[in-house]
Amino acid sequence: MIGGKYQKLDADENRKAHKSKSLKTLAISIGLGLVVAYAVISVLIIEVKGRQALKTPEEWRELIKEHGYERQETDARSPCPMLNTLANHGFIARSGRHIKSDDLFKAMMLMGAPPTVTAGFLKKVYRDYHEADPQRSFFSQFSSMETLDLDRLTVAGLLEHDVSLSRNDLRLPPYSTVDPIPDYVHRMHKIAQVANKGTEFEGIFTRKNENDARRIRWLESYSHNKYIHLSLFHQFASSTECSLLLDIIGRDGAITLPHLTSFLLNQTFPDDWHPRETSYSFKELATKPLRCWKGLRDSTATLELLDQLEH
Ligand code: HEM
Ligand SMILES: *[C@@H]1O[C@H](CO)[C@@H](O)[C@H](O)[C@H]1NC(C)=O
């Protein structure tokens, strides 16, 4: 008898528990739904906003007329050829100082960078380069900085890394990654000239050439720089920079030799260049850096090739 009463109570409890559980599930579903909807709408807004900044070649030619090359010795510059070029032409502050995330975003969109990825990347950059101020509260260090000076990008271990194409490792002369090393850019030319002679790629620097150039830079850093460090993360970052060079500055894995010099060495927009007319897509992001990465692993270039090029 008593057992039966308890059984009924148990059943009541069960029903109540079940009801509140399904209410909870419903609330969680609605909450998740809202979060997903918010994320989708945010991405759409960023993707649309990013595409609005794209220019046709004609629009670019008009725009660049009001953005001539001008560079002062006192200007702050970075290890990034693209950011330096944008600053040299006043698409971001020519001084290279006090640059807001939004200004960088706009300049990136003008170049055809992928909108959502760039927005996320810049969020991280403005957080990661924010230094803890010993005079401020402990928690203040976790906020983002308001503005960026380009020379801050030379801080090692964040984005800046060894084995760059156009800069020397920070621990090797000139102990600065701001200025390109002319010999490295000339070498890239030679690699392309020798490898592509008599082919359809004559006068062009290809992904294969980049892979060989980077391989040689890696080999020489590995044998001459006791303090070399290229973490797995930075190996992938290098592969992404390979694609930035060949698919955003260049197109479809190729860049002409004069354009290569203009961007990497002179850090100026060539007269006969115009930015991409469509944003770098998610599909490109998923495939092109990987092709750079695989090409570097597969490259058979050696330091002997370097000797041959120099003689
Ligand atoms: C359209 C967008 C961009 C393009 C086409 C681009 C292109 C490049 C290329 C080709 C390199 C390699 C240079 C070399 O190996 O010598 C590079 C390096 C670098 N970039 Fe950019 N970049 C872009 C956006 C950015 C942004 C938004 C930032 C940071 C705010 C940035 C920061 C850097 C840094 C710190 C390096 C040096 C890495 C190293 O040590 O080699 N770049 N970039
Ligand atoms: C780079 O600058 C040098 C010296 O100012 C100039 O002679 C050369 O034509 C420039 N090359 C390119 C491709 O912009």
Is residue 96 within 8 Å of 149, Cβ to Cβ?
A: yes
State pLDDT tens for residues 160-190. 999 999 999 999 999 999 999 999 999 999 9
Atom of ligand 1 nearest to the CA of 104: 27
When pLDDT is cut at 50, 70 and 90, the band that residue 269 belongs to is: very high
Residue in 188, 261, 269, 273 to alter for ligand 2 test, most ligand atoms within 8 A of Cβ: 261
Q: Is the pTM of this model over 0.95?
A: no
Same domain for 9 and 127, yes or no, is no
Question: What would the DSSP string read from start to end of 124-172?
Answer: HHHHHT-PPPTTS-GGGGGS--SEE-GGGGG-BTTTB-SS-SSS--TTS
- Is the pLDDT reported for residue 100 higher than 70? yes
Ligand 1 pocket member 125 (CB < 6 A) = yes
Residue 63 pLDDT: 98
Ligand 2 pocket member 267 (CB < 6 A) = no
Is residue 126 within 8 Å of 144, Cβ to Cβ?
A: yes
For ligand 1, atom 10, name the residue with the nearest CA: 245
- Is the pLDDT reported for residue 307 higher than 90? no
Same domain for 182 and 300, yes or no, is yes
- Integer Cα distance of 127 and 121 in angstroms: 10
Ligand 1 pocket member 163 (CB < 6 A) = no
> How many domains in the chain?
2
Ligand 1 pocket member 80 (CB < 6 A) = yes
State pLDDT tens for residues 202-224. 999 999 999 999 999 999 999 99
Residue 4 pLDDT: 59
Domain boundary among 18, 34, 52: 52
* Pair of tokens at residue 135: 């005079």
Amino acid letter, 25:
T
When pLDDT is cut at 50, 70 and 90, the band that residue 7 belongs to is: low
Atom of ligand 2 nearest to the CA of 261: 13
Q: Domain range spanning residue 33?
A: 1-52
Same domain for 33 and 102, yes or no, is no
Same domain for 134 and 150, yes or no, is yes
Same domain for 8 and 112, yes or no, is no
Ligand 1 pocket member 204 (CB < 6 A) = no
> 153 C-alpha to center of ligand 1: Å?
10
Same domain for 33 and 93, yes or no, is no
- Is the pLDDT reported for residue 54 higher than 80? yes
Same domain for 195 and 176, yes or no, is yes
Distances, alpha carbon 228 to alpha carbons 28, 48, 170, 219, 223, in Å: 49, 42, 9, 11, 9
- Integer Cα distance of 242 and 249 in angstroms: 10
Residue 21 pLDDT: 83
For ligand 1, atom 5, name the residue with the nearest CA: 244
- Is the pLDDT reported for residue 18 higher than 90? no
> 268 C-alpha to center of ligand 2: Å?
9
Same domain for 135 and 27, yes or no, is no
Is residue 166 within 8 Å of 84, Cβ to Cβ?
A: no
| Alpha helices, DSSP H, located in the chain | 2-52, 57-65, 81-88, 101-110, 115-128, 182-196, 207-224, 232-243, 257-261, 282-298, 303-310
Atom of ligand 1 nearest to the CA of 159: 35
Same domain for 58 and 11, yes or no, is no
- Integer Cα distance of 198 and 46 in angstroms: 45
Residue 180 pLDDT: 98
Ligand 1 pocket member 82 (CB < 6 A) = yes
> 6 C-alpha to center of ligand 1: Å?
71
Distances, alpha carbon 293 to alpha carbons 28, 81, 246, 268, 283, in Å: 41, 20, 13, 27, 16
- Is the pLDDT reported for residue 111 higher than 70? yes
Same domain for 2 and 121, yes or no, is no
Is residue 253 within 8 Å of 295, Cβ to Cβ?
A: no
> 160 C-alpha to center of ligand 1: Å?
9
Q: Which of these, 302, 179, 159, 185, lies nearest to 240 by C-alpha position?
A: 159
Same domain for 220 and 74, yes or no, is yes
Is residue 159 within 8 Å of 125, Cβ to Cβ?
A: yes
Residue in 84, 188, 266 to alter for ligand 2 test, most ligand atoms within 8 A of Cβ: 266
> 262 C-alpha to center of ligand 2: Å?
7
- Integer Cα distance of 267 and 138 in angstroms: 40
- Is the pLDDT reported for residue 281 higher than 70? yes
Q: What is the mean pLDDT of the chain?
A: 95
Domain boundary among 13, 34, 52: 52
Assign residue 242 the CATH number of its domain: 1.10.489.10
Distances, alpha carbon 103 to alpha carbons 6, 80, 177, 217, 232, in Å: 69, 16, 23, 33, 30
Ligand 2 pocket member 88 (CB < 6 A) = no
* Alpha-carbon 136 to chain mean position: 31
Domain boundary among 52, 78, 95: 52
Same domain for 64 and 184, yes or no, is yes
> 201 C-alpha to center of ligand 1: Å?
25
Ligand 1 pocket member 213 (CB < 6 A) = no
